[in-house]
Amino acid sequence: MLELGCGPGLCSVVAGLTGASDVIATDGDVKSVELTALNISDNYTGVASGPKALKLYWGDLADLSVVQSSWSGSSSDRTSVDFIIASDVAGCPYVSAYTSLIDTLVALSGPETVILLACQKRHSSENIFYDMMREKFLLDRYF
């Protein structure tokens, strides 16, 4: 499972603690990645391994390569994750990043990947994002 825009990493920490394996929390903000790493460390005391916290700036091929190479059991035939989760990544402040976000989702996903996006609809710009997503993905939309 991969989390985009993890902020403090709550979803990734909970996913790992409830049994998800190979969890990666990502954010484009270095301070958020540092906070997530601290939250992972605090919640995985005495556990062999927990989620990883990595910088992923949407559309950055170098960051994307680091994330892809960090998947457990990574091999040349593994190019996608099973689940991608993200909260509020389609909000108004990110309008200029929609194309990079979708390109990142495309690069990380495969035909069996499930992408779970959660948001509070606040602005009509989110409609633009979901229209763009429909060009690349099969969507079920719940508002």
Q: What is the pLDDT of residue 57?
A: 96
- Stronger pLDDT, 94 or 140, i.e. the higher one: 140
Instruction: Give yes or no for residue 101 having a pLDDT over 80.
Output: yes
Give, to the nearest 10 degrees, the angle between helix 30-43 and helix 10-17.
Answer: 30
Separation between Cα atoms, residue 51 and residue 115, nearest integer Å: 18
Q: What is the pLDDT of residue 120?
A: 80
Instruction: Give yes or no for residue 126 having a pLDDT over 80.
Output: yes
Instruction: Give yes or no for residue 74 having a pLDDT over 70.
Output: no
Q: What is the pLDDT of residue 114?
A: 94
Q: What is the pLDDT of residue 7?
A: 93
Amino acid, res. 94: Y
Calculate the average pLDDT of the chain: 87
Q: What is the pLDDT of residue 30?
A: 97
| β-pair partners for 115 | 84
| β-pair partners for 118 | 87
* Contact between 135 and 105 (Cβ < 8 Å): no
pTM, two decimals, is 0.88
Percent of the chain exceeding pLDDT 90 equals 57
Instruction: Give yes or no for residue 48 having a pLDDT over 60.
Output: yes
Instruction: Give yes or no for residue 3 having a pLDDT over 80.
Output: yes
Percent of the chain exceeding pLDDT 70 equals 90
